[in-house]
Every structure is written in structure tokens, then in C-alpha cells.
Structure 1
Amino acid sequence: MNSIRSEAHGSTARADAVADAQAATRQLHSATEALLDAAAERYGITRNDLRCLEILERKGTMQPGQLAQASGLSRAAITKVLDRLECAGYITRSSEREDRRSYHVQTSDHLADQRRATWQPVLRATDGALSGLSVTQLQDLTAVLLRLADANRQSVQQLR
């Protein structure tokens, strides 16, 4: 297998470096999963609920069908997620004037308070981890992380 990796990556040193980077990426994924589990527990919701909140925060007001598509959940599952999130006070629903059966969901002020309490310590820890890096190193890291995110999105599509 080493010879295959060496040929694919040009050298044993490169193959070893790629393997180390892949191992570090797995560690980051594992730590992120644990962090998201802890955050969901602190919010008192499920991981799917937390993922939907993150989408709503990032994209803004949405219709349930749009959120279902963005999250990869079924419309039935989104209805249950939204019921739980509304009950917890993290979202609000607003009906459309023209069609009262249609509604939009958006995050609530209560969510902003919970988000600050949960994520400020995480942001401080991240700032500490990045503190010794130069602007150029941070820009390079950002580019690599965005490429890895794209690779993950492509992998999701292949797995589905």
C-alpha cells in the first residue's frame, strides 16, 4: 500500500504528510462531533434541531420546505424539528397574509442569548488556538478548511 500511496502522491514523505493530515482531519471531525453533541445537550435539543438552527442563522428566514431541502430532512421531520424548536423558544413562525397555510420560520431573540452563552467560550478557545499564526497562515488555513468542506459536501452527495 505504501508504494501505491507513494506513486499517487509523488513521494513517501508526501504520502506520510497526507496521511498525517487525514488523521488530523479525523481528529478534528471527532472533536467537532463531540462539541456539537455538547452544544445540543446544552440547548436541550437534538443534533438535527441544532443543525436546522445553524442553517436558519446562516440563511435567515425560510419556509419549512426550504429548510427541509437545506438540511436534507424530510418535510415530516422538519415539522417535528420546528415544533420542538418553537416549544424551546428558539424560533418563531409567521404566516403569510396571502396564504395563511404558508408560513416562514426565523430564529428568536432567545436563541441569540443561548448562542452567546454557548459559543463565546468556544470562540475564545479557537482564538487561542489560532493566536500564533500569521495573517498569511490564517488565510492559507482558511483556504484549506474551505476545500475540505467542499470535499465533505461532495462526499455527502456520493454517499446519498
Structure 2
Amino acid sequence: MRLSKELRAGAIARAVQELQDATDLIDELAARRLRVNRTDLRCLSRLTARGPLTASELAAAAGLTGGAATTAIDRLERAGLARRVRDEADRRRVLVHLTDKADQLSQEIWGPIVTDALTELHSFTIAEFEVIETFLQRALDNQTRHADRLRCSSPR
């Protein structure tokens, strides 16, 4: 039996919600293991994805105010997961780098997840990759747009 487009869309929406909930659980367990809060974990994620960033770049990437980012960086430094390093090219700039400890712990936590995900991805064709990439980019654009909407609207 073939599902209608509406039923298929609903099934995909439910699958995305389940994936978000499973990812949220992994994030919660990872934060506990790293002994950081979820904001700090989001900063670690942005540094992992983008490499060293200034405090203001990290704030923008993590959706934080400058003060909140500075506080998170301070906590990450105390935990031995990040360090501030003066930029060699521009000594006025200070970049936040992940430490070797952060890299090691990230590999322990997320390495097996990435390995399994890559194994699954290799089962798809190039044409299917294009559809997946399109869907994920549109989903990201949607989430970003609605995060901005919620950020800009005042609570009732």
C-alpha cells in the first residue's frame, strides 16, 4: 500500500521529531559526561564544527549574547575544554580553541555515532544524497527562521 503525500509528510515530520528528541537525549547525556551545561555544550559544538572563533563569533554562532558567551568560555576554560589563544596574524584578536582533552572526549562520545551514521549514509545513492541534502538545508533554514522569530518576539 502506497501512502498519500500527506500521510508520508506526516510520517517524516514524526521521524524528524523523534530524531530531535534522540539528539536532545544524547546532548543531555554528553553534557553530564563532560560536566558542562547545555549552553557550554552548544559552544563546544560550534567550535568543533567551525574551528577556533573569537568570543563574538562564538556568541553569534551559538545564539548567545556577548556576556553569555564570555561566561561560557570561562566555564569551558575551567573545565579544561577550551583555551583562549592570541591570534598570531592579528595580536589584538583572541581566539577560542578546543583543547586536546575536548577533542578526546568528543571522539569518545560522538565518534561511534558519526561512524555509524557514515555507514548508513553509504547505503544511499548520489541522487538520494541530493534529496537528503536539500531537505536538511530547508529544515535548517526553517529552524533558523523560527529561532529568529522566537528570539525577536516578547513572551506573552
58-67 vs 108-117, which moves further: 58-67
Instruction: State the partner residue of 2:154.
Output: none
Ranges in structure 1 where 5+ consecutive residues have no aligned partner: 1-11
Instruction: State the partner residue of 2:35.
Output: 44
Letter aligned with residue 75 of structure 2:
R
User: In structure 2, what is the Cα distance between the partners aligned to 1:41 and 1:136?
Assistant: 39
Instruction: State the partner residue of 2:45.
Output: 54
Instruction: State the partner residue of 1:81.
Output: 72
1:12-67 C-alpha deviation (Å, 9 max, x unpaired): 92211111111111111111111111111121111111111111222222221221
Ranges in structure 2 where 5+ consecutive residues have no aligned partner: 152-156
Aligned counterpart in structure 1 of residue 82 of structure 2, from 70, 85, 91: 91
Higher gyration radius (CA): 1
Instruction: State the partner residue of 2:61.
Output: 70
How has the CA–CA distance of structure 1 residues 76 and 28 changed in structure 2, closer, same or farther, with 3 Å as cutoff? Answer: same
82-91 vs 117-126, which moves further: 117-126
Tell me the matched-pair count: 147
Identity of aligned residues (%): 27
The offset of 1:128, in angstroms, is 4.5
Aligned counterpart in structure 2 of residue 155 of structure 1, from 107, 130, 146: 146
User: In structure 1, what is the Cα distance between the partners aligned to 2:91 and 2:137?
Assistant: 40
132-141 vs 118-127, which moves further: 132-141
How has the CA–CA distance of structure 1 residues 131 and 105 changed in structure 2, closer, same or farther, with 3 Å as cutoff? Answer: closer
Q: 3-state DSSP class of the match of 1:159? A: helix
Instruction: State the partner residue of 2:134.
Output: 143
Q: State the superposition RMSD in angstroms.
A: 2.2
User: In structure 2, what is the Cα distance between the partners aligned to 1:123 and 1:72?
Assistant: 25
Instruction: State the partner residue of 2:110.
Output: 119
The offset of 1:139, in angstroms, is 3.4
Q: 3-state DSSP class of the match of 1:105? A: strand
Q: 3-state DSSP class of the match of 1:45? A: coil
